């Protein structure tokens, strides 16, 4: 189902949706210290720049604003329930704040659940930095995001190309970043990934995947999990979430920040936000 305003176009294979509406917040009373960002005092551009600057994801980047160059592949690996989708959403929000179009494709969760992920993560970011009146900022970035769902068995690169052509030809949406959440990385994945890589390079797309790993599997000699051993050459950046006691470490298995002096990064289990040491 494609939703844009009050119009809808039915689709039997997948659904596409733009979520809107006000975002509930729990900021409480007005703070008085210097950490509060007031929309009345700063325009949206200044607010966006400040949130982008404060985002620990900057530590993962290279010399550009994006971790990936156009046509690049990135992967977030972890066992079930550790926060792969939360990382994906934060990557998306960073691009949305920079007014870049993000297409989020979910092969596992319904649209409503994906929308809730975005709302929760965005609310936690706003609370962390005491951003007031975040409804206005939320509404400002929503037009840059589109959520598309497929049944995992019906998803294919030709089908995605067809859907992208429909969206762009009708001037509905032209993505600059694509997130794929829930693609099975089995022995047959190399062919579709190779086709997808060509698509990404032809259109200058930044593409991120979540990859589910398993505790019992033995990684390769370079520490790369088995799911990526046969396709790691297609990826420029690979991050793995590694639980250790109460912390979830974010390890760069490939690519990532070139400067080793950067502080280690973690995923906060309580907020699912990326933080540094």
Distance CA 32, CA 102 (A): 35
* C-alpha R_g of the chain: 19
Place of tokens 């200044």: 46
Query: Where in the chain are the domains?
Result: 43-276
Instruction: Report residue 118 as tokens.
Output: 């975005």
Ranges under pLDDT 70 in the chain: 1-44, 59-65, 256-262, 277
Domain 43-276 belongs to what architecture? 3-Layer(aba) Sandwich (3.40)
Q: 145-150 and 102-106: which strand pairing?
A: parallel
Q: What is the pLDDT of residues 166-192, one digit of tens each?
A: 999 999 999 999 999 999 999 999 999
pTM: 0.84
């Amino acid at each position: 189902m494609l939703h844009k305003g009050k119009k809808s176009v039915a689709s039997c294979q997948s659904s596409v949706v733009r979520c809107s509406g006000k975002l509930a917040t729990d900021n409480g009373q007005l703070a008085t210290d210097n950490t509060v960002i007031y929309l009345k005092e700063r325009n949206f551009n200044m607010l966006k720049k400040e949130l982008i600057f404060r985002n620990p994801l900057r530590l993962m980047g290279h010399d550009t604003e994006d971790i990936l160059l156009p046509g690049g592949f990135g992967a977030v690996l972890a066992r079930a329930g550790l926060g792969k989708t939360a990382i994906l959403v934060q990557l998306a929000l960073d691009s949305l704040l920079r007014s870049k179009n993000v297409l989020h494709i979910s092969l596992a969760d319904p649209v409503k659940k994906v929308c809730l992920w975005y709302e929760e993560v965005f609310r936690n970011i706003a609370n962390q930095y005491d951003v007031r009146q975040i409804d206005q900022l939320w509404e400002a970035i929503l037009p840059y995001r589109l959520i598309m769902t497929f049944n995992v068995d019906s998803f294919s690169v030709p089908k995605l190309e067809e859907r992208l052509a429909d969206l762009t030809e009708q001037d509905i949406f032209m993505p600059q970043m694509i997130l794929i959440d829930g693609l099975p990385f089995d022995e047959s994945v190399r062919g579709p990934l190779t086709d997808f890589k060509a698509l990404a390079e032809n259109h200058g797309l930044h593409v991120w995947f979540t990859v589910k790993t398993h505790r019992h599997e033995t990684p390769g000699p370079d520490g790369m999990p088995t799911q990526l051993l046969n396709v790691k050459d297609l990826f420029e950046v690979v991050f793995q979430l590694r639980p250790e006691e109460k912390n979830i470490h974010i390890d760069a298995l490939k690519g990532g920040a070139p400067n080793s002096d950067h502080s280690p990064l973690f995923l906060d289990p309580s907020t699912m936000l990326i933080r540094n040491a």
